[in-house]
Amino acid sequence: MNISKERLAQIEALPEDQIDFSDIPEMDAAFFETARLVMPAGTTKQAISIRVDDDVLQWFKAQGKGHLSRMNAVLRAYMLSSAKERT
């Protein structure tokens, strides 16, 4: 799909209350029961040492295999959300 920079700027400037979501199906509990996290391909990772509260680590571990990837996904979502708020 090709979109001009001007049109993309118009879309990004559109206030959320003016976006028409009527054609998007509602995501109910059944959706989230089968949903799975898919990490973007091609991202490079760097090994670090980080201290987190024990209860936070235990919660992520309790979610099953891939807890470090999920922690990374949460940090990425926060980063993207913060960057969006600053623009």
User: What domain count does the chain have?
Assistant: 1
Give per-residue pLDDT as tens, 35-65: 887 777 777 889 999 999 999 999 999 999 9
* Distance of alpha carbon 70 from alpha carbon 73, whole angstroms: 5
- The tens digit of pLDDT for each residue in 12-34 reads 999 989 988 899 988 899 888 99
Measured CA to CA in angstroms, residue 37 lies from 31, 40, 58, 66 at distances of 13, 10, 19, 10
Parent domain of 23: 5-86
Question: Percent of the chain, pLDDT > 90?
Answer: 55
